[in-house]
């Protein structure tokens, strides 16, 4: 774990090194993924079944690719009632928040006599990738599918690997609650390829969203352009701003809640109190051995964790903007005042009773967020990822006569005579 202080002579170099740490996978899987995509395009369901047999240890035929309603019903019935209730609470809150985001169409009449507008439409079909096996996250099903449904997407297709044929009941229950149209027991780059290009069994979609391993991420990168994607997600991260008045153990657990995601996760504390920095460092070390994922959280904290002591919050907020974290927790006396000074964060959690973990599940805003400093230019998943906008205009003869001459002049300056002529003909101008 790194200890930095803005008053140290070498702080700027040390902070730059922290910013430039390479946490993303360095495995070169591009060629392997390209071959899988090409094979799915060439052989369709046959290739999909071959890869599922090979990678998930589950021999399968095309008629078994889609998970049946009876299987979904049976899996859902096996989920304890309290978990179904928790899913329902989370789904309801996520849906309310995302429906509130829906934009209004635009129509305006300008002074020259043109009517201009912008219309929003939902995508026709969306594909959701859901990790399977040990990394099964029903919360991600809700976070990816519910915004699509709120946007008005008619068809939501989900791919989830089922290693050794094991279905995760809670994932299937979440898919049913979220309004997923169809579910397929396939994963990996082959699932992304099938969603993008289609097979005899799986119809193609317009956008693919959802997390996955390095092969899934690379497949999304390679099919982009054929379909839209949400992002190429990297390791998870959190920055916690905390003053001297906060409970060190709460801060420590909040840092470790991010670290337990994976050995490449990053947790950073920024504080204006040297005493708090020491207290949190001790609390983290005391807490790690008590966690079931102690090895993972400990490795992440050791390799990528950091505690930064600042002289004041002007320094602290400036560092946050340079980090542009996926998650930002502000645990200070006046969190909203500090948040107002910060421009770059995927999602913010304000106050001592707003841990990031509540946002992962039930708060309502989306937990699919930009990582790796991409919050400088990217946003979290929302209904806007499942909508597209079309602009339109309607001009009267009088309106065209007012603005048309300028368009003719610009078209002729660009050497596009047919452009100029298409307007001039309507204005009865000489050739």
Domain contains 242: yes
Same domain, 17 and 99: no
Within this chain, do residues 53 and 166 fall inside the same structural domain, yes or no? Answer: yes
Q: Is the pLDDT of residue 86 over 90?
A: yes
**pLDDT > 90 fraction of the chain, expressed in percent and rounded:** 93
pLDDT at 208: 98
Same domain, 287 and 246: yes
Q: Which uninterrupted H or E stretch holds 116? A: strand 114-122
Rg (CA), the chain: 26
- What average pLDDT does this structure show over 190-194? 98
Query: Residue 281 — pLDDT band, cuts 50, 70, 90?
Result: very high
Q: Is residue 387 part of a domain?
A: no
Domain final residue pick, 318, 346, 364: 364
Distance CA(391)–CA(105), nearest Å, equals 10
What's the whole-number mean pLDDT along residues 317-324?
Answer: 98
Which residues are marked as active site? 326-327
| Position 136 confidence tier, pLDDT thresholds 50, 70, 90 | confident
- The H-or-E segment that residue 49 falls in is helix 45-55
Q: Which of 229, 248, 270 is the last residue of a domain?
A: 229
Mean of pLDDT over the chain: 95
Specify whether 163 is located in the same domain as 187: yes
Q: What percent of the chain has pLDDT over 70?
A: 98
Phi, psi of 68 (to 5 degrees): -80, 160
**Could you tell me the pTM of the whole model?**
0.93
Q: What is the pLDDT of residue 25?
A: 61
Nearest of 366, 360, 346, 294 to residue 99 by alpha carbon: 366
Which has the minimum average pLDDT: 101-105, 231-235, 317-321, 420-424?
231-235
| Own/partner pairs, 286-289, CB within 8 angstroms, 24+ separation | 286/252, 287/249, 287/252, 287/253, 287/256, 288/256
Average pLDDT over residues 262-279: 97
DSSP assignment of 292-349, as one string? Answer: TTHHHHHHHHHHH-EEEE-SSHHHHHHHHHHH--SEEEEESSSHHHHHTT----SEEE
Is the residue at 339 inside a domain? Answer: yes
Is residue 134 predicted with pLDDT exceeding 60? no
> Among 229, 251, 284, where does a domain finish?
229
Q: Is the pLDDT of residue 431 over 80?
A: no
For range 202-209, the mean pLDDT? 98
CATH number of the domain to which 334 belongs = 3.40.50.1980
Whether residue 53 is found in the same domain as residue 202 = yes
Could you give the angle at which helices 169-178 and 81-99 cross, rounded to 10 degrees? 40
Handedness of CA 92, 97, 98, 104 (dihedral sign): positive
Q: What is the pLDDT of residue 28?
A: 84
- Same domain (yes/no): 223, 84: yes
Residue 26: pLDDT above 60?
A: no
Question: What Cα–Cα distance (Å) separates residue 227 from each residue in 66, 127, 358, 389?
Answer: 22, 10, 32, 16
Residues 307 and 242 placed together within one structural domain of the fold: yes
Structure tokens at 174: 């979440």
Q: Please indicate, yes or no, if residue 121 is contained in any of the structural domains.
A: yes
The pairing of beta strand 266-271 with beta strand 347-350: unpaired
Query: Is the pLDDT reported for residue 63 higher than 70?
Result: yes
pLDDT at 23: 78
150 with 98: CB under 8 angstroms? Answer: yes
* The predicted structure's pLDDT at residue 148: 98
Distances (CA, A) of 86 to 131, 132, 290: 21, 21, 26
What's the domain range around 409?
396-427
The token duo for 38 is: 């090409």
Q: How many domains does the chain have?
A: 3
Based on the domain organization, do 67 and 201 belong to the same domain? Answer: yes
């Amino acid at each position: 774990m790194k200890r930095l202080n803005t008053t140290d002579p070498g702080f700027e170099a040390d902070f730059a090194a922290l910013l430039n740490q390479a946490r993303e996978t360095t495995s070169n899987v591009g060629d392997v993924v390209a071959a899988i995509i090409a094979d799915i395009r060439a052989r369709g369901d046959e290739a999909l079944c071959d890869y599922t047999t090979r990678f998930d240890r589950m021999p399968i035929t095309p008629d078994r690719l889609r998970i049946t309603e009876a299987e979904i019903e049976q899996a859902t019935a096996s989920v304890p009632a309290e978990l179904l209730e928790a899913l329902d609470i989370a789904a309801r809150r996520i849906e309310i928040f995302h429906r509130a985001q829906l934009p209004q169409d635009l129509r305006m009449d300008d002074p020259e006599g043109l009517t201009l507008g912008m219309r929003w439409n939902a995508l026709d079909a969306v594909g959701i990738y859901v990790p399977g096996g040990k990394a099964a996250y029903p919360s991600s099903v809700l976070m990816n599918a519910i915004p699509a449904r709120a946007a008005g997407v008619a068809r939501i297709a989900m791919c989830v690997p089922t290693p050794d044929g094991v279905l995760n009941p809670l994932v299937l229950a979440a898919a049913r609650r979220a309004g997923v149209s169809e579910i397929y027991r396939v994963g990996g780059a082959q699932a992304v390829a099938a969603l993008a290009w289609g097979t005899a069994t799986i119809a193609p979609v317009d956008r693919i969203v959802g997390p996955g391993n390095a092969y899934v991420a690379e497949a999304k990168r390679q099919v982009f352009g054929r379909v839209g994607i949400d992002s190429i997600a990297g390791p998870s991260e959190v920055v916690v701003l905390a003053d001297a008045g906060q409970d060190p153990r709460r801060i420590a657990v909040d840092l470790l809640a991010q670290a337990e995601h994976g050995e490449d996760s990053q947790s950073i504390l920024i504080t204006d109190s040297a005493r708090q920095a020491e207290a949190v460092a001790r609390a983290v070390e005391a807490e790690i051995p008590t966690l079931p994922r102690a090895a993972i959280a400990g490795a992440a904290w050791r390799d990528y964790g950091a505690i930064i002591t600042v002289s004041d919050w002007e320094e602290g907020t400036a560092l946050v903007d340079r980090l542009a974290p996926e998650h930002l927790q502000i645990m200070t006396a006046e969190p909203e005042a500090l948040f107002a000074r910060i421009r770059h964060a995927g999602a913010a959690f304000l106050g001592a009773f707003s841990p990031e973990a509540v946002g992962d599940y039930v708060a309502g805003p989306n937990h699919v967020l930009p990582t790796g400093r991409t919050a400088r230019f990217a946003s979290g998943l929302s209904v806007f990822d499942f909508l597209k906008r079309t602009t339109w205009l309607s001009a009267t003869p009088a309106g065209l006569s007012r603005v048309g001459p300028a368009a003719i002049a610009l078209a002729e300056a660009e050497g596009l005579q047919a452009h100029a002529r298409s307007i001039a003909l309507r204005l009865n101008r000489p050739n």
